[in-house]
């Protein structure tokens, strides 16, 4: 079974706030994004012994750009043969069926399909 984790930063509220509170929260959200605090980063450890790993992510759609960044030596050694495909609600990472259990990647998704 693959291991998936990521951070969840707060979203700006859309209703029920005073103008001052809304401006404060929008500023916090914008500043957080400028400091790299975005909700489009995951860390995935590939499933050993299989040819693909699926990551459920409801914000992903066809056309979403998915970047994979190796976070371990085993992942770096495998990167040439690893690629991903985005579909509705799912990132499928294709890889070889190596038995290594430490092939961890940072996964960033954004673009046309991301909501």
Yes or no: say if 92 and 85 are a contact pair by the CB < 8 Å rule: yes
What predicted TM-score, i.e. pTM, was given to this entire model? Answer: 0.75
How much is the mean pLDDT over the chain?
Answer: 86
C-alpha dihedral sign at 34, 62, 6, 76: negative
Which residues, other chains included, contact 36 with Cβ-Cβ below 8 Å and sequence gap of 6+? none
Our CA dihedral for 6, 97, 68, 84, rounded to 10 degrees, sits at -100
> Where are the chain's structural domains?
3-7+39-111
- pLDDT, one tens digit per residue, over 42-67 is 999 999 999 999 999 998 999 999 99
- pLDDT, one tens digit per residue, over 19-28 is 898 888 888 8
């Amino acid at each position: 079974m693959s291991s998936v984790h990521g951070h969840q930063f707060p979203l700006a509220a859309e209703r029920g706030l005073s103008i001052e509170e809304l401006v404060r929260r929008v500023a916090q959200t914008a500043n957080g994004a400028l400091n790299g605090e975005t909700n489009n980063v995951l860390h995935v450890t590939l499933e050993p012994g299989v040819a693909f790993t699926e990551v459920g992510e409801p914000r992903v759609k066809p056309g979403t750009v998915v970047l994979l960044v190796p976070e371990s030596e085993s992942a770096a050694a495998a990167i040439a043969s690893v690629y991903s495909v985005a579909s509705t609600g799912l990132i499928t990472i294709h890889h070889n069926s190596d038995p290594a259990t430490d092939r961890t990647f940072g996964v960033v998704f954004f673009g046309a399909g991301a909501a």
